[in-house]
Every structure is written in C-alpha cells, then in structure tokens.
Amino acid sequence: MKIYLYLFVCLHLFVLRVHSLIDGLYCGRESCYDLLNVTRESSKQEIVKAYRALAKKYHPDMAKTVEDKQLYTERFRAFANAYEILKDEETRVDYDRMLDNPNEYYTHYYRYYRHRYAPKVDVRLVLFILISVISAIQYYSQYSNYNAAIDYLVTVPKYRIQAQEIARQEGLLGNADTSKKARGRKAINKQEEEAIIRQIVEQKLDIKGGYKKPSITRILWLQMLLLPYYLFLKLKWHIRWFFKFHLNKHELGDDEKIYLICCYLKINREQFDSLPEKEQDQLWTQQTWIKENFLEWKREKDEEQKKKLNESGRYKAYRRYMKSGGPGQITFDAD
C-alpha cells in the first residue's frame, strides 16, 4: 500500500503537474495569445491590430495616478513581450511547439535562449565582411611593404647608379647639361627622373620575401577559393612522387632535388630562391638532396659557425660572463 501511495505522489508531482507554460520562458505562466486577446489561428495582421489597441489603452502616459502608472507599465511590457514573440514566425512556431509538447523541457529552454541571444545579423554576412576586411588589409600590407622596399632601394647608390646607366642606355635620361638654360629644365624634370629610376628598379630587381610585389593570389579570399585546387595538386604531386621515384626508381629532377633540400632545411621554395647564390651552389655541389650529404654539410656549417663565434670578441665576453655565474650570480660589495 505504501509503495502505491509513493508512486501516486511521484506521478502527481512530476507528471500530472506538467504545465505547458514555463516560468522564465516567453510570457511565463501567462499565455501570449490570451494577453493580446487573440487565438492561435489569428493572422499576423490581427496580432498587430490587437497589440496596437492594447498598447494605446495601457500606455504609461495614459495613467492618471502613480499606482495606475505602475500597473500600466507592467501590462504594457507584458503586451510588448507577447507581441515580440508572436510577430516573428520562427519564434511563434517554437512557442506553439512548447504549448503542444510541454514535456520537452530542455528543448524549449534551448530554443528560447537561442532566439534571445543569437546574433540578429546573418553569420554568413559577418564572415563575408570579416574575410573581405582581412583580405583588404593583407593586400594593403603587401602594397605598403613593396613600396617601402622600392623607396629604400632607390636611395642605395649601388642600385641607383645602375638604374641611371640603364635609363641613359635606353634613352630615358639625357646626358648631364650644365648650361644655364638647362638648369631650370633640370629642376623641373627632377620628379620625372626619380619616377624613371623608380620604374627601372621595379622592373630589374626581383624582390622576394615579405617585400615582394603585391598579388591577389596571396590574400585570404583567393586562398580559400583555391584551397581545393591546391589540395588536389598536392595530392597529385605526392602520388606522382610515390609511383615515379619509389616504385619505378626514376632519377630525380631539379625540382625534386630542390624539394628534398627544402625539406631538410625546413624552408619553402621562395626562401630557397632568396638564399645567396654562393650558398645555393654549395648545396648543389655537395648534393645535399641526399640525406647523408646534407648531414655532412650541416655539420660543416655548424663547425664554421662555432669558429666564427669563438673569434668574436662579443661572444668571448658573453662566455666569460656565463662562466662567472651569468644572470643568476650574487655579489657582495664590502662597505
């Protein structure tokens, strides 16, 4: 008998008392439809008309006493909340679902707070604007770095003299004229001369690294669009490498040798191309695409670097400093 009584109490508390209206969600324990004096079959125009009539009647400015104003304010907020819920089709569907399925407690909480705190702007639009801004900043940064490099190279005597010689050979610049009549003309054409020198420096010098010529292929938008194509080329390259060099044992080409050297050095192709010609020739001469040769070359470079450091006065001073205790040493000065 006690067991049956216990089950009855549990059913009464947790099952039979389930209510379709939940505190803290939508209109709370009140029905949004009842608040606006409409039904679930009412159209959006009818809901708007009912809300406007109630808002006009219960607007706080219509109250005559302080008590009435407080009551009107509460009712006006309740009407506005109910109208905000029912005017939006998606929110209204979720509210009707809560009325029809009161047992889906956590689902109702999730849907309610998703609409309440989710961004009002489409996430796709936000991503589009964000990627576009990043791409614009990337291209502007490339353009600024490239112009800064050109401005610097134009002032370097080595490149400036070479550019002037090329301009004279091509007939873009005339010979120096010291006559009085030409002095005024030379001052006027100074800007044109600088523009010609700058143009020749841009054409003749191949700047690499972070200061190379700007290109839209290095902005985020194009990289994202071309990502599947790049992945396809990468997969195709690895499959070709496997069949051509692992299975068929073909001789390595120049591109394949450079690829292995870059892998050992942990650099990309652009960084390899920017290495000094002397160092590139040394890598080719010692056949560093072979792992054993590369390790031998690396050991020689490390020993050479150690010798340079040992001959450096600054490095010797640093070694003496570290031997004497380094940054953690404690000294006591006698008074």
Q: What is the pLDDT of residues 183-242, one digit of tens each?
A: 444 444 678 888 888 888 888 777 776 778 888 888 999 999 999 999 999 999 889 988
Tell me the pLDDT of the chain averaged across its residues.
Answer: 79
Residue 303 has pLDDT above 90, yes or no: no
Contact indicator for 156, 163 with CB cutoff of 8 Å: no
Beta carbons of 79 and 51 less than 8 angstroms apart = yes
Q: Is residue 288 one of the residues assigned to a domain? A: yes
Least-confidence region, from 76-80, 110-114, 147-151, 301-305: 110-114
Q: What is the pLDDT of residue 144?
A: 92
pLDDT confidence of residue 315: 63
Instruction: Output the CA angle 300-305-307, nearest 5 degrees.
Output: 95
Q: Is the predicted pLDDT of residue 182 greater than 60, yes or no?
A: no
pLDDT at res. 15: 39
CATH code assigned at 111: 1.10.287.110
Residue ending a domain, among 72, 96, 117, is: 117
Is there a single domain that holds both residue 64 and residue 136? Answer: no
Residue 231 inside a domain? The answer is: no
Last-in-domain residue among 82, 102, 117:
117
Q: Are residues 216 and 264 in the same domain?
A: no
Instruction: Please indicate, yes or no, whether residues 109 and 132 belong to a single structural domain of this protein.
Output: no
Per the CB < 8 A criterion, the answer to whether 256 and 245 are in contact is: yes
Domain that holds residue 201: 124-176+187-221
Residue 85 forms part of a structural domain: yes
Residue 245 located in a structural domain: no
Joined tokens for residue 89: 């089709």
* Angstrom distance (rounded) from CA 228 to CA 241: 20
148 and 108 part of one domain: no
Residue 234, in any domain of the structure: no
Would residue 309 count as lying in a domain? yes
Of the three residues 117, 132, 162, the one that is the final residue of a domain is: 117
As to burial, measured by CB atoms within 10 angstroms (0-12 exposed, 13-18 middle, 19+ buried), residue 63 is middle
> Would the pLDDT of 260 be above 80?
yes
Q: How many domains does the chain have?
A: 3
CA atoms within 13 A on the CB side of 230: 8
pLDDT of residue 321 exceeding 80, the answer is no
Residue percentage of the chain with pLDDT more than 90: 13
246 inside domain: no
Residues 26 and 106 both lie in one domain: yes
Residues 69 and 43 in one domain: yes
Residue 175: its pLDDT value, please?
Answer: 58
Shared-domain flag, residues 297 and 281: yes
Q: What span, in angstroms and rounded, lies between the C-alpha atoms of 187 and 167?
A: 18
Q: Are residues 21 and 111 in the same domain?
A: yes
Residue 36 lies in a domain: yes
What are the Cα distances from residue 55, in Å, to 58, 74, 84, 187?
Answer: 5, 11, 13, 78
Asked whether residue 46 falls in the same domain as residue 112, the answer is yes
Q: pTM for the full model?
A: 0.52
